[in-house]
Structure 1
Amino acid sequence: MATNEELKREFNRSGFALVEEDEILKRCVTLCINYSLKPSDLVSSWELYHLNRQLIEQTVKKDEMDGFILHLQNQQKEAIMAEESGLHIYSNRDVDMLLEGIPEDTEEIVTTPTHKSQRLHPDPFDSINRSKDYGCSSGKSVGRVTPFGTRINKFVVKFNIGNAAVQVENGNDNDVENSEDDMIIKRAQTSQRCSLKVNGSGPEPGCRFMYDRTEDKFNALENRITKHADALVASGLYEELMDPAVASQRSIFAVGMICCDGEGHLNDKSILLQSSAERTSGQRVPLDLNRLNQFSIFPGQIVGIEGQNPSGHYLTASKLVDSVPLTQTADLDQPPAKKQTIKQEVLTPVGESREGSEVSFIIASGPFTTSDNLLFEPLNELLAYARRKPPQLLVLLGPFVDSEHPEIKKGAVDATFSEIFQVEVLRKLQDYVEFMGSEVRVVLVPSIRDANHDFIFPQPPFYIHIPELEHQITSLSNPGTFEANQVKVGCCTVDVLKQLSGEEFSRNASGVPTDRMSRLASHLLRQRSFYPLYPPPENLPYDSTLAPQAIQISSIPDILLLPSDMRYFVKVLSVGEGEDATKCVCVNPGRLAKGEGAGTFVELTYKGGPESMHASIISI
Structure 2
Amino acid sequence: MASQSVLLQFNLKPEDSEVSSRCEELMAIFGLSAEDLFVQWETYVMNASAADDPLQLNVENLGKLQQHLQKKLVKSQQKTPLSAVKRPMMRTPNMNLVPSTPSVKKRRKDTPQSADASFAGLDSSPLRSSPTKSAVSGEIIETLNGHLDVLPGSGIRPKLLANFNPQKYKFRTMNQKLLEVADYLDEQIDSMAKAVLEHYKFDSEEFGNPNIQSQTEILTVGRIVPDSPLTASDADLNANSLFLETSRLGGIGQRIKLDLSSLHDYSFFPGQIVCFRGQNLTGEFFKVTETHQIPFLGSPVSSAEELQSYEYGAGNMKVIFTAGPYTPQRELKYSYLAEFVDRMNNEVRPDTVVMFGPFVDVNHVQVADGTLHFDELEKQPATLDDVFRTVVAPILRRLECLVILVPSTKDATTKHAAYPQDSFDRKNLGLPKNVKCFPNPATFQLNEFLIGCSNNDIFKDLKDVAAGAPLKESRFDRISGHVIEQRRYYPVFPGGLKQKRSLKEDEQAVHISGADLHVSYMGLAEFNTSLPDILVIPSELKAFSKIVQNVLVVNPGTFMRQNAAGSYCEVNLKAPKLDELEKAGDLYLHTVWKRARVDVRRT
User: Please, what TM-score do these two structures have when normalized by structure 1?
Assistant: 0.63
Among residues 166, 169, 188, which one is paired with 1:224 in the alignment? 188
CA contact (8 A) 2:297 2:529 kept: no
1:269 and 2:240 aligned: yes
Q: How many residues end up aligned between the 2 structures?
A: 416
What SS does the aligned partner of 1:605 have? strand
Deviation per CA, 1:409-439: give whole Å up to 9, x if none: 2111252211121233322221222xxxxxx
Higher relative contact order (CA 8 A, sep 6+): 2
CA contact (8 A) 1:203 1:546 kept: no
C-alpha distance in structure 2 between counterparts of 1:481 and 1:389, whole Å = 25
Larger Rg: 1
CA positional deviation for 1:307: 1.3
1:260 and 2:219 aligned: no
Deviation per CA, 1:532-590: give whole Å up to 9, x if none: 1111235432212322234444420011111001111000111xxxxxxxx11111111
What SS does the aligned partner of 2:519 have? coil
Matches within 5 A, 1:491-506: 491-500=453-462, 503-506=463-466
CA contact (8 A) 1:348 1:354 kept: no
Among residues 559, 571, 578, which one is paired with 1:592 in the alignment? 559
Deviation per CA, 1:239-293: give whole Å up to 9, x if none: 4321111222222111000010121442122111111212333211111111111
CA positional deviation for 1:203: 5.6
Alignment-derived partner of residue 69 in structure 1: none
Matches within 5 A, 1:328-367: 348=302, 351-353=305-307, 359-367=317-325
CA contact (8 A) 2:220 2:250 kept: no
CA contact (8 A) 2:535 2:553 kept: yes
C-alpha distance in structure 1 between counterparts of 2:536 and 2:167, whole Å = 19
Structure 2: stretches of 5+ with no match in the other structure:
1-133, 373-379, 498-513, 575-589
* 1:475 alignment partner AA: C
Matches within 5 A, 1:233-382: 233-240=197-204, 241-262=207-228, 263=231, 264-326=235-297, 348=302, 351-353=305-307, 359-382=317-340
CA contact (8 A) 1:228 1:324 kept: no
Among residues 445, 449, 473, which one is paired with 2:435 in the alignment? 473
Alignment-derived partner of residue 532 in structure 2: 557
Among residues 597, 600, 603, which one is paired with 1:614 in the alignment? 597
What SS does the aligned partner of 2:388 have? helix
C-alpha distance in structure 1 between counterparts of 2:448 and 2:568, whole Å = 23
* 1:311 alignment partner AA: T
CA contact (8 A) 1:252 1:307 kept: yes
Alignment-derived partner of residue 196 in structure 1: 160
Distance 1:467 1:152, change over 3 A: closer
CA positional deviation for 1:399: 0.7
Among residues 341, 345, 353, which one is paired with 1:394 in the alignment? 353
C-alpha distance in structure 1 between counterparts of 2:406 and 2:386, whole Å = 18
CA contact (8 A) 1:203 1:458 kept: no
Distance 1:610 1:546, change over 3 A: same
CA positional deviation for 1:152: 6.8
Alignment-derived partner of residue 447 in structure 1: 408
CA positional deviation for 1:451: 0.9
CA contact (8 A) 2:388 2:429 kept: no
1:162 and 2:169 aligned: no
Distance 1:504 1:319, change over 3 A: same
Alignment-derived partner of residue 509 in structure 1: 469
C-alpha distance in structure 2 between counterparts of 1:201 and 1:278, whole Å = 30
Deviation per CA, 1:292-312: give whole Å up to 9, x if none: 111111111000001122223
Alignment-derived partner of residue 142 in structure 1: none
CA contact (8 A) 1:235 1:325 kept: no
* 2:264 alignment partner AA: N
Segment drifting more, 247-256 vs 352-361:
352-361
C-alpha distance in structure 1 between counterparts of 2:417 and 2:280, whole Å = 44
Among residues 439, 449, 464, which one is paired with 1:487 in the alignment? 449
C-alpha distance in structure 2 between counterparts of 1:571 and 1:203, whole Å = 33
* 2:554 alignment partner AA: V
CA contact (8 A) 2:325 2:359 kept: yes
C-alpha distance in structure 2 between counterparts of 1:302 and 1:461, whole Å = 29
User: Please, what TM-score do these two structures have when normalized by structure 2?
Assistant: 0.65
C-alpha distance in structure 1 between counterparts of 2:308 and 2:436, whole Å = 23
Distance 1:354 1:509, change over 3 A: farther
C-alpha distance in structure 2 between counterparts of 1:508 and 1:289, whole Å = 12
CA contact (8 A) 2:536 2:554 kept: yes
What SS does the aligned partner of 1:459 have? coil
1:424 and 2:391 aligned: yes
* 1:530 alignment partner AA: Y
C-alpha distance in structure 1 between counterparts of 2:363 and 2:567, whole Å = 19
Distance 1:162 1:152, change over 3 A: closer
- What's the RMSD between the two structures over aligned residues? 2.7
Segment drifting more, 468-477 vs 562-571:
468-477
* 2:469 alignment partner AA: A
Matches within 5 A, 1:43-82: none
CA positional deviation for 1:386: 0.9
